[in-house]
C-alpha cells in the first residue's frame, strides 16, 4: 500500500500539471503549498520515528552489549522462536486479543454514552462539574488504582474487602478475588472504562459541538424525542470519530495495556490464565536477561500483526464507510 | 485505545523497554559525562535531602586531596537496571556504577564492559581500600578467577530470618524464641489471641525465599533450619533453583536436582499451605510489595516479618512504638545449634561497584574507592556532615538528625566502617555481629560458581515465566500443594527444564574439577 | 415549541447515568484526598480512610520540603506550555493536510503519520540520537521533541476537520482566499473545540511525562515534577534497605496518595479553561432543542 502511494507522490511531484484535476481542487502547485503545513510534523516523524527504526535490525541479531546493534552477529529468525516455542503462546495471544477487544469495545461504548448523556444535561454548572469529575480517573496512576482495587476486593491482609463485606451483608458467599482468575477480564474492563470513559467522552463531546443546530431544530419540529434525536441524529454523526478511534485501536490490539495490567495483577500467577498478555509475559520472562534482540523480535511481531489488522480494517472501511476513512 | 508515542515510551518504563529496545551500540561518541576532572558515578534511587551541601563538602575535600571531583547521577530504582544497561550499550564514558547479578552484571562481564579490578588492587596502590576488603571476600567474589567489581558488604554473610514482636511473645508467655517449633507455636498463639494481628507477613518480593533460593535456609523450611547445608544454584534470579548433591565436593559430581526433590522442600510447601489456610500468613502475598507490608508491620498489623542480618530491621522500632505503645522487636534466627550452627555460605556480595571499561580514568575511579575507605570520608558521604546531619552514639552507632540517606552499598559499603543504627535491638545486634565473622560459616562447595545462562538463555527465560506463574502461588500457599506441584512440573517440562538441568550439571562439574 | 421545557425520559436517564458515573469517580477521588491527609498508622491498618483522621500532613511535608520542588514545578510548566503550543501547531498542520484529501498527498502523509504508532525503533537509537547527535541532554527540549506529534491525536483532529461545513470553505475559495488564509482564518477559528481537546490531551501528556525526562535529564535541578515524584515514591520503597535512624519511617501509603493529589491538582485547575470551548459549543447545540 505504502509503496504504491510513494510512487504516486513522486509522480505527482514530477508532473507539472495534474493530468485531470480531480474534483474542483486547486492545481498541484497550490496543493504542495498546502502540503507545507505538514512540514514540521513530517520532519518530526522523520527524525524521531523513522530514523531510529534502523534499530529494528536487532530483532534479527544475537545481541551483546559490547558489539551493540550493528556489531552483534546475525541470527536469522532465532529471536522469534523464543516466544512461539514457549507452549504458552496460544493462550497468551488469545488473552491479548480477548482483553483488548473487550477494552476497545467497552471504552468506546462508554465514551459515546457518556458524551450523549452529558449533552442532554442542561444545567451549566452541573455539566461542568460532571465533566471535570469524570475526566479525573485518567490521571490516577496505575499504582493507586491497584491500591483502591485491593481495598475493594481484598482488604489489608487479603481476607475481606468492601465487596466481600457487601456480599456477606446480602448473605452471598464471599470470593477470594486475588486467587480466582475467572472474573478478572471483567474487573480489568471495568477499570479501563473507569479510567478512559471520561477521556474519550471529551473527544466525542467535541465532535458533537460541530453538529449544526439546524439539524436538531429540524428534528424537534418533526416532534422527535430527545432520545430519538440522540439515536438518529447524534450517533450517526459520531460515526466518523468512532471509526477513527476503532481503526487506531485495532492497530494496537496486540499490545496489552502493560502499565495498568501489570500494576494490578503483578506477579500473581494464579490470575495469569485470564490476564497474561504478550507484554506482561515478555516482561516477566526477559527482565532478568536484558536480551534486546528477543524483545525487539516480539515487538516487531506485534507491530506486523497490528499492521495487517489495520490494513484489513482500513480496506473494510473504505469499502463500507468511505466517508469516515482517514487512511 | 493507547496514546501512541507517549504510551510507547512510557511502556518502555517497564516492559516494552524490552520490546522497544532496538539497541544500537555503535557508541563511544562524545558525551559530556566524565569529561574534565570529574568522575561520573551512577547511583540508584533519589537525591538525598540535603545532598547539595554534602556533595559540595565531598567535592571540596576530594579536589584538595586528589585533584578531581565527582558528579553522581541518580536514577530511580525501578529504572536503574535498564537505564544503566542503556548507558553501557550506548558506550557512554561514565566511571563507576552499581552492578550485581540481580542487575546486569553477568551480561556485562560476558561483553567485557567491566574492568577487572583485582589487577589494579594487586599493585598495592590503594592501601585504604585493601585494608577494608577481607581476603576471603575478594577470593569468593571472583568470577572465573577475576574480580569484576569492588564487593559492597556490611557483614561477612547475609542470613534471612524473622523479625518478631517481642512484646507479643512475652505477653503470651514465649520469652525468647530460639527454635522454629516455638516460633510456629507463637504464630498460632497470636492467631488465636490477637484479633487484629496477622502472625506473619509475606510479600510479592519474596516467594522463593520462603522455601529456598540459593540461601542456606528457606524461611518456612523447618528442615533447613536444622540442616543449613543445601547448596542451591539457578541460572538467573527468578529461575528454578537446582539443589546440588551434598557430597559433590568429595565425589566431584554435582548431580543437581530441581528443588522439590531435595529433602524438606515438599514438607515446607505443605507447611506454607497450612499457614495460608489457617490465616497465619496474609493471603494477598502475591499482590503486596515489601514497602506496603513493612508499613503495615510498623502500624502493628503483623506479629512477625522477614529480615536479613544487615542490622537494619530495628529501623522500625520508633515508628512501631509510636503506633503501638509498648511494642518491642527482636530478631529470631531459629538455627538448631543457634550461633554455632555454621551454615553454608557463598560469601558472594549482593552488590558491586564496577568500573566502566570506557570510563575516563580507571585509576581515578580506584582512587575514589580508596578515598572512600577512609573513615572520615566514608562517614561524610554515607551519613552527611557530622554534627549537622548526624552524630555518633557510642563508638559504633550513629543517630541521623536530618533526613539524609545515601545508598552506601552503591559506592562505599565497607564492613568495618559501617556504623550501626542507634535503635538496633540487642538481639539484632548480637546476630549482626555474628554475621560479620567469616569463621561462623562453612564455605559452600559452590561458593564462587556463577552459572553462565548464555547456552540456555531461551529455555531459562521460559522457565522464569513458568516459575512466576506456577511456583510463586505454591510458595505462598495459595494453591493446593499436589495439584500446584503437578502443574509446575508440567510447565517446566514444556519450558525445557531437562536442558537446564543438564547444562547446570555440566557447568557445575567443570567448576568442581577446577577447584 | 422551542421554549417548552418538557422533562424527557432520556434527560432523566442521562442525569442519573452521569450522576452514577460521577459517584464512581468522586469516591476514589475523595479516598485519595482524604487518605493523603490521614496518618500512615491508620492507613496501614485499614488500607483507606474516608475521613482524614488522625490528621497528618507528613506526606505533603516530605514532598514540599524537597530542595528542588520549585525548580521542578518550573520545569514542568515550561515543558507543558511550550510543548503544548508546538505540538498543537505541528499537529494542526499535518491534520489539515490529511483532512483536505489532496490527491497524491493526503493519503501518503496519513500512512506516514500512522506507521510510527505501530513501529518503533526502540530506546537505544532514540537515546543515541538525542544524546550524541542532537546533544539535547539536560535540555527541556529533550523531553518535548521526542513527544512532539502523537499520531493518535493527529487522526482525532483529522476526523474533526473533516466535519467542518464544506460550504463555508468553498465560498472562501470562490472569494479567492488562499489555502493558508483559509487554514488560519477559517479552519482554525471554527475548530476551537477540537483544538481545546487536543491541546488539553497534549498538556496532560507533557505534564505527566517522566520517562523521556528520566532518559535525558540527569541534572537534578532540571527534573520535571513527575520525575521528581516518581523518584520519591520509589525511593520510599527502597530506602527501607538503607541505614538510617532518622526517627519515623516515611509514610508509604500516604505518600502514594499525596503524590497523586499533587500531580492532578494543577491539571484540574487548568481544565475549566479548556472546557470553556467545548462546553459552550454544546450548550448552543442543546438548549435550542
What mean pLDDT is predicted for residues B471-476? 92
Does the distance separating the beta carbons of A143 and C233 come in below 8 Å?
A: yes
- Average model confidence (pLDDT) across chain B: 86
- Distance of alpha carbon B449 from alpha carbon B39, whole angstroms: 32
Short-list A232, C243, C237, CA closest to B414: C243
For residue B18, pLDDT over 50 is answered with no
Does the distance separating the beta carbons of C227 and B408 come in below 8 Å?
A: no
Contacts of B296 in chain C (CB under 8 A): 44-45
Confidence band (pLDDT; 50, 70, 90) for A326? low
- Distance of alpha carbon C19 from alpha carbon A134, whole angstroms: 10
What mean pLDDT is predicted for residues B143-153? 91
Residues 87..126 of A with a Cβ closer than 8 Å to B: which? 87-88, 103-104, 107-108
For residue B25, pLDDT over 70 is answered with no
- For the four alpha carbons of B368, B372, B376 and B380, in that order, the dihedral sign comes to positive
List the single best residue of C2, C97, C236 to mutate versus A (max A Cβ within 10 A): C97
Short-list B490, B104, B137, B144, CA closest to B348: B137
Give the pLDDT score at A183: 93
Residues 7..36 of A with a Cβ closer than 8 Å to B: which? none
Give the pLDDT score at A327: 65
Q: Is the peptide bond before C54 cis (omega within 30 degrees of 0)?
A: yes
- Distance of alpha carbon B497 from alpha carbon B478, whole angstroms: 24
CA-based nearest distance B421→chain C, Å: 6
Contacts of B295 in chain C (CB under 8 A): 40, 43-44, 249, 251-253
What mean pLDDT is predicted for residues B439-465? 88
Contacts of C100 in chain A (CB under 8 A): 34
Quick check: A9 contacting C, CB < 8 Å? yes
At A324, list the grid cell.
469516515
Does the distance separating the beta carbons of B24 and A249 come in below 8 Å?
A: no
Torsions phi, psi for B399 (to 5 deg): -120, 125
Residues 47..66 of A with a Cβ closer than 8 Å to C: which? 47-56, 58
Is residue B299 within 8 Å of residue C45, measured between CB atoms? yes
SS3 annotation, B349-377: CCEEEEEECCCCCHHHHHHHHHHCCCHHH
- Distance of alpha carbon C157 from alpha carbon A197, whole angstroms: 19
Instruction: Out of A151-160, B333-342, B366-375, pick the least confident.
Output: A151-160
Does the distance separating the beta carbons of A202 and C264 come in below 8 Å?
A: no
Beta strands in B226-368 (DSSP E): 232-233, 242-243, 257-258, 304-308, 329-332, 344-345, 351-355
Higher local confidence (pLDDT), B186 or B1:
B186
For residue A122, pLDDT over 90 is answered with no
Short-list C159, C242, C257, A240, CA closest to B98: C242
Quick check: B291 contacting A, CB < 8 Å? no
Q: Which of B20, B32, B405 sits opposite C123 (nearest CB)?
A: B20
- Distance of alpha carbon A7 from alpha carbon B107, whole angstroms: 45
Instruction: Out of A82-86, A279-283, B174-178, B306-310, pick the least confident.
Output: A82-86
Does the distance separating the beta carbons of B465 and A281 come in below 8 Å?
A: yes
Q: Which of A58, A248, A284 sits opposite B22 (nearest CB)?
A: A58
- Chains touching A, CB cut-off 8 Å, 3+ pairs: B, C
Confidence band (pLDDT; 50, 70, 90) for A225? confident
Does the distance separating the beta carbons of A52 and B23 come in below 8 Å?
A: no
Return the axis-axis angle of helices B362-371 and B51-66, rounded to nearest 10°: 110
Does the distance separating the beta carbons of B5 and C42 come in below 8 Å?
A: no
Q: Residue written as cell 509475559?
A: A281
Give the pLDDT score at A125: 83
- Chains touching B, CB cut-off 8 Å, 3+ pairs: A, C
Return the exposure string of C223-243: e unless at least 16 CB atoms fall within 10 Å of the residue's CB, then b.
bbbbbbbbbbbbbbbbbbbbb
Does the distance separating the beta carbons of B104 and A290 come in below 8 Å?
A: yes
Give the pLDDT score at C248: 67
For residue A232, pLDDT over 50 is answered with yes
The percent of residues above 90 in pLDDT, for chain B, comes to 52
For residue A115, pLDDT over 60 is answered with yes
Does the distance separating the beta carbons of B288 and A178 come in below 8 Å?
A: no
Higher local confidence (pLDDT), B11 or B176:
B176
Does the distance separating the beta carbons of B494 and A87 come in below 8 Å?
A: yes
CB atoms within 10 A of CB A57: 18
Taking CA B196 as the corner, what is the angle to CA B192 and CA B201, rounded to the nearest 5 degrees?
A: 85
- Average model confidence (pLDDT) across chain C: 83
- Distance of alpha carbon C201 from alpha carbon C204, whole angstroms: 5
For residue C58, pLDDT over 50 is answered with yes
Quick check: C28 contacting B, CB < 8 Å? no
- Distance of alpha carbon B136 from alpha carbon C88, whole angstroms: 62
Q: Residue written as cell 516455638?
A: B182
User: pLDDT digits over A144-198, tens only?
Assistant: 888 888 888 887 777 778 888 888 889 888 888 888 899 999 999 999 999 999 9
- Chains touching C, CB cut-off 8 Å, 3+ pairs: A, B
Search chain C and give the residue with CA nearest A127. C279
Q: Which of B238, B284, B301 sits opposite A288 (nearest CB)?
A: B238
What are the residues facing B332 on neighbouring strands? B162
Q: Which of B16, B237, B471 sits opposite A299 (nearest CB)?
A: B16
Contacts of A245 in chain C (CB under 8 A): 156
- Distance of alpha carbon B57 from alpha carbon B508, whole angstroms: 48
User: pLDDT digits over B396-408, tens only?
Assistant: 899 888 888 888 8
CA-based nearest distance C73→chain A, Å: 17
Q: Which of C45, C215, C235 sits opposite B299 (nearest CB)?
A: C45
Instruction: Out of B215-224, B327-336, B366-375, C278-287, pick the least confident.
Output: C278-287
CB atoms within 10 A of CB C1: 7
For residue C230, pLDDT over 60 is answered with yes
pTM higher than 0.90, yes or no?
A: no
Is residue C143 within 8 Å of residue C226, measured between CB atoms? no
DSSP state at residue B156: S
User: pLDDT digits over C94-150, tens only?
Assistant: 999 999 888 888 889 999 999 998 888 878 888 889 988 899 989 999 999 999 999
At A76, list the grid cell.
536469522
Quick check: A216 contacting B, CB < 8 Å? no
Does the distance separating the beta carbons of C26 and A31 come in below 8 Å?
A: no
Q: Residue written as cell 459515546?
A: A112
Return the axis-axis angle of helices C252-287 and C225-238, rounded to nearest 10°: 150
Give the pLDDT score at A251: 84
Search chain B and give the residue with CA nearest C229. B46
Does the distance separating the beta carbons of B204 and A267 come in below 8 Å?
A: yes
CA-based nearest distance C6→chain B, Å: 38
Pick the most confident of A105-109, A199-203, A293-297, B451-455.
A105-109
Does the distance separating the beta carbons of B283 and A178 come in below 8 Å?
A: yes
For residue C280, pLDDT over 60 is answered with no
Higher local confidence (pLDDT), C245 or A227:
A227
Q: Which of A150, A157, A268 sits opposite B198 (nearest CB)?
A: A157
Residues 6 or more apart whose CB falls under 8 angstroms from that of A315 comprise none
For residue B13, pLDDT over 90 is answered with no
Contacts of A26 in chain C (CB under 8 A): 173, 179
Return the number of CB contacts < 8 Å for A and C: 337
Confidence band (pLDDT; 50, 70, 90) for A19? very low
Cα B295 to Cα A30, A251, C39, distances in angstroms: 66, 42, 12
Taking CA B281 as the corner, what is the angle to CA B275 and CA B284, rounded to the nearest 5 degrees?
A: 120
- Distance of alpha carbon A42 from alpha carbon A275, whole angstroms: 38
CA-based nearest distance C46→chain A, Å: 6
Q: Where are the alpha helices (DSSP H) in C37-105?
A: 40-46, 58-64, 69-99
- Distance of alpha carbon B89 from alpha carbon B83, whole angstroms: 10
Q: What ipTM was estimated for this complex?
A: 0.86
Give the pLDDT score at B339: 92
User: pLDDT digits over A199-222, tens only?
Assistant: 899 889 888 877 777 778 887 788
What are the residues facing B257 on neighbouring strands? B243
CA-based nearest distance C121→chain B, Å: 5
Contacts of B89 in chain A (CB under 8 A): 65, 68, 292
CA-based nearest distance B268→chain A, Å: 20
Confidence band (pLDDT; 50, 70, 90) for A112? very high
Search chain C and give the residue with CA nearest B196. C45
Does the distance separating the beta carbons of A159 and B279 come in below 8 Å?
A: yes
CA-based nearest distance A214→chain B, Å: 33
Q: How far apart are the two ends of chain C, measured CA to CA in Å?
A: 9
CA-based nearest distance C209→chain A, Å: 12
Is residue A144 within 8 Å of residue C260, measured between CB atoms? yes
**Phi-psi domain of B172 (left: phi exceeds 0; alpha: psi -120 through 50; beta: other):** alpha
Quick check: A204 contacting B, CB < 8 Å? no
Does the distance separating the beta carbons of C131 and B24 come in below 8 Å?
A: no
B72 membership: H or E segment, kind and range? strand B69-75
- Strands B351-355 and B390-393, by their bridges, are unpaired
Q: Residue written as cell 560459616?
A: B441
Quick check: A290 contacting B, CB < 8 Å? yes
Does the distance separating the beta carbons of C44 and B399 come in below 8 Å?
A: no
**Full strand arrangement of the beta sheet holding B397-400:** B390-393, B397-400, B420-421
Contacts of B499 in chain A (CB under 8 A): none
Cα B453 to Cα A10, A56, B25, B461, B469, distances in angstroms: 51, 25, 22, 10, 21
At B271, list the grid cell.
507447611
Amino acid at each position: 500500500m505504502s509503496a504504491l502511494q510513494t510512487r504516486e507522490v513522486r509522480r505527482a511531484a514530477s508532473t507539472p500539471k495534474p493530468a485531470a484535476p480531480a474534483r474542483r481542487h486547486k492545481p498541484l502547485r497550490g496543493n504542495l503549498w498546502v502540503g507545507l503545513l505538514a512540514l514540521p510534523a513530517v520532519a518530526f516523524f522523520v527524525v524521531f520515528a523513522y530514523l531510529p527504526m534502523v534499530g529494528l535490525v536487532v530483532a534479527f541479531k544475537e545481541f551483546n552489549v559490547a558489539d551493540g546493534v550493528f556489531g552483534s552477529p546475525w541470527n536469522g529468525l532465532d529471536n522469534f522462536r523464543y516466544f512461539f516455542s514457549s507452549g504458552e503462546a496460544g493462550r497468551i495471544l488469545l488473552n491479548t486479543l480477548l482483553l483488548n477487544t473487550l477494552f476497545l469495545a467497552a471504552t468506546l461504548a462508554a465514551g459515546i454514552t457518556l458524551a450523549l448523556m452529558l449533552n442532554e444535561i442542561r444545567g451549566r454548572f452541573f455539566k461542568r462539574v460532571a465533566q471535570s469529575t469524570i475526566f479525573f480517573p485518567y490521571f490516577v496512576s496505575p499504582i493507586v488504582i491497584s491500591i483502591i482495587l485491593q481495598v475493594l476486593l481484598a482488604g489489608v491482609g487479603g481476607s475481606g474487602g468492601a465487596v466481600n463485606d457487601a456480599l456477606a451483608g446480602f448473605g452471598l458467599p464471599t470470593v477470594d478475588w486475588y486467587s480466582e482468575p475467572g472474573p478478572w477480564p471483567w474487573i480489568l474492563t471495568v477499570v479501563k472504562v473507569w479510567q478512559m470513559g471520561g477521556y474519550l467522552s471529551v473527544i466525542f463531546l467535541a465532535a458533537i459541538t460541530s453538529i449544526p443546530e439546524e439539524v436538531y431544530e429540524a428534528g424537534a419540529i418533526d416532534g422527535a424525542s430527545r432520545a430519538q434525536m440522540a439515536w438518529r441524529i447524534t450517533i450517526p454523526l459520531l460515526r466518523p470519530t468512532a471509526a477513527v478511534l476503532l481503526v487506531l485501536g485495532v492497530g494496537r490490539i496486540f499490545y496489552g495495556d502493560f502499565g495498568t495490567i501489570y500494576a494490578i495483577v503483578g506477579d500473581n500467577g494464579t490470575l495469569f490464565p485470564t490476564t497474561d498478555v504478550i507484554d506482561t509475559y515478555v516482561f516477566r520472562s526477559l527482565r532478568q536477561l536484558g536480551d534486546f534482540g528477543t524483545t525487539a523480535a516480539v515487538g516487531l511481531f506485534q507491530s506486523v500483526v497490528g499492521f495487517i489488522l489495520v490494513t484489513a480494517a482500513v480496506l473494510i472501511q473504505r469499502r463500507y464507510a468511505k466517508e469516515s476513512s482517514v487512511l | 485505545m493507547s496514546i501512541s508515542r507517549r504510551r510507547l515510551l512510557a511502556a518502555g518504563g517497564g516492559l516494552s523497554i524490552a520490546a522497544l529496545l532496538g539497541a544500537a551500540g555503535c557508541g563511544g561518541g562524545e558525551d559530556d559525562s566524565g569529561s574534565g576532572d570529574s568522575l561520573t558515578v551512577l547511583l540508584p534511587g533519589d537525591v538525598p535531602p540535603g545532598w547539595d551541601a554534602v556533595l559540595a563538602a565531598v567535592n571540596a575535600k576530594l579536589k584538595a586531596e586528589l585533584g578531581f571531583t565527582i558528579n553522581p547521577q541518580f536514577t530511580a530504582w525501578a529504572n536503574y537496571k535498564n537505564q544503566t544497561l542503556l548507558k553501557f550499550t550506548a558506550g557512554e564514558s561514565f566511571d563507576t556504577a552499581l552492578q550485581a547479578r540481580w542487575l546486569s552484571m553477568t551480561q556485562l562481564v560476558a561483553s567485557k564492559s567491566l574492568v577487572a579490578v583485582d589487577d589494579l588492587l594487586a599493585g598495592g596502590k590503594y592501601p585504604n581500600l585493601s585494608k577494608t576488603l577481607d581476603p576471603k571476600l575478594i577470593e569468593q567474589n571472583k568470577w572465573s578467577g577475576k574480580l569484576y567489581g569492588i564487593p559492597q558488604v556490611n557483614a561477612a554473610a547475609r542470613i534471612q530470618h524473622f523479625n518478631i514482636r517481642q512484646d507479643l511473645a512475652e505477653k503470651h508467655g514465649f520469652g525468647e524464641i530460639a527454635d522454629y517449633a516455638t516460633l510456629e507455636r507463637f504464630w498460632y498463639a497470636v492467631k488465636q489471641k490477637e484479633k487484629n494481628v496477622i502472625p506473619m507477613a509475606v510479600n510479592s518480593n519474596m516467594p522463593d525465599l520462603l522455601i529456598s533460593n540459593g540461601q542456606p535456609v528457606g524461611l518456612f523450611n523447618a528442615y533447613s533450619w536444622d540442616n543449613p547445608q543445601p547448596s542451591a544454584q539457578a541460572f538467573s534470579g527468578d529461575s528454578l533453583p537446582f539443589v546440588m548433591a551434598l557430597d559433590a565436593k568429595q565425589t566431584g559430581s554435582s548431580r543437581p536436582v530441581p528443588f522439590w526433590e531435595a529433602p524438606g522442600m515438599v514438607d515446607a510447601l505443605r507447611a506454607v499451605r497450612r499457614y495460608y489456610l489457617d490465616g497465619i500468613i496474609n493471603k494477598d502475598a502475591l499482590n503486596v510489595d515489601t514497602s506496603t507490608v513493612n508499613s503495615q508491620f510498623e502500624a502493628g498489623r503483623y506479629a512477625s516479618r522477614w529480615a536479613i542480618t544487615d542490622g537494619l530491621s530495628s529501623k522500625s522500632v520508633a515508628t512501631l512504638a509510636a503506633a503501638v505503645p509498648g511494642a518491642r522487636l527482636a530478631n529470631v534466627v531459629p538455627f538448631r545449634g543457634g550461633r554455632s550452627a555454621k551454615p553454608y555460605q557463598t560469601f558472594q556480595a549482593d552488590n558491586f561497584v564496577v568500573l566502566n571499561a570506557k570510563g575516563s580514568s580507571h585509576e581515578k575511579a580506584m582512587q575514589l574507592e580508596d578515598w572512600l575507605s577512609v573513615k572520615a570520608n566514608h562517614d561524610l558521604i554515607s551519613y552527611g556532615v557530622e554534627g549537622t546531619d548526624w552524630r555518633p552514639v557510642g563508638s559504633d552507632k550513629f543517630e541521623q538528625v536530618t533526613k539524609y540517606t545515601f545508598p552506601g552499598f552503591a559506592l562505599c559499603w565497607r564492613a568495618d566502617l559501617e556504623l550501626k543504627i542507634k535503635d538496633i535491638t540487642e538481639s539484632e545486634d548480637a546476630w549482626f555481629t555474628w554475621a560479620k565473622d567469616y569463621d561462623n560459616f562453612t564455605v559452600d562447595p559452590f561458593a564462587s560458581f556463577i552459572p553462565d545462562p548464555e547456552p540456555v538463555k531461551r529455555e531459562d527465560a521460559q522457565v522464569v515465566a513458568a516459575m512466576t506463574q506456577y511456583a510463586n502461588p505454591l510458595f505462598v500457599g495459595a494453591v493446593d500443594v499436589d495439584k500446584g506441584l503437578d502443574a509446575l512440573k508440567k510447565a517446566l517440562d514444556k519450558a525445557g527444564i531437562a536442558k537446564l538441568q543438564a547444562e547446570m550439571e555440566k557447568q557445575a562439574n567443570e567448576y568442581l574439577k577446577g577447584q | 415549541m422551542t421554549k417548552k421545557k418538557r422533562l424527557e425520559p432520556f434527560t432523566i436517564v442521562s442525569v442519573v447515568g452521569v450522576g452514577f458515573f460521577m459517584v464512581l469517580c468522586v469516591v476514589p477521588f475523595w479516598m485519595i484526598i482524604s487518605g493523603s491527609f490521614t496518618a500512615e498508622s491508620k492507613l496501614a491498618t485499614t488500607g483507606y480512610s474516608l475521613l482524614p483522621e488522625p490528621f497528618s500532613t507528613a506526606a505533603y511535608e516530605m514532598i514540599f520540603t524537597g530542595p528542588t520542588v520549585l525548580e521542578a514545578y518550573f520545569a514542568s510548566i515550561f515543558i507543558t506550555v511550550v510543548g503544548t503550543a508546538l505540538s498543537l501547531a505541528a499537529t494542526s498542520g499535518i491534520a489539515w493536510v490529511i483532512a483536505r484529501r489532496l490527491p497524491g498527498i493526503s493519503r501518503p502523509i496519513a500512512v506516514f503519520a500512522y506507521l510510527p504508532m505501530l513501529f518503533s525503533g526502540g530506546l537505544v537509537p532514540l537515546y543515541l540520537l538525542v544524546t550524541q547527535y542532537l546533544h539535547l541532554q539536560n535540555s527541556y527540549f529533550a523531553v518535548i521533541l521526542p513527544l512532539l506529534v502523537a499520531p493518535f491525536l493527529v487522526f482525532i483532529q483529522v476526523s474533526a476537520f473533516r466535519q467542518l461545513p464544506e460550504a463555508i470553505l468553498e465560498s472562501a475559495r470562490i472569494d479567492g482566499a488562499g489555502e493558508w488564509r483559509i487554514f488560519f482564518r477559517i479552519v482554525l477559528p471554527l475548530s476551537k473545540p477540537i483544538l481545546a481537546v487536543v491541546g488539553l490531551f497534549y498538556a496532560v501528556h507533557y505534564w505527566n511525562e517522566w520517562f523521556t525526562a528520566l532518559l535525558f535529564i540527569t541534572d537534578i535541578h532540571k527534573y520535571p515534577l513527575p520525575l521528581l515524584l516518581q523518584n520519591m515514591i520509589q525511593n520510599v520503597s527502597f530506602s527501607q534497605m538503607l541505614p538510617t535512624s532518622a526517627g519515623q519511617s516515611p509514610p508509604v501509603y500516604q505518600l502514594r496518595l499525596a503524590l497523586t493529589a499533587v500531580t492532578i491538582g494543577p491539571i484540574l485547575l487548568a481544565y475549566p479553561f479548556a472546557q470553556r470551548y467545548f462546553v459552550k459549543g454544546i450548550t448552543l447545540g442543546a438548549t435550542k432543542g
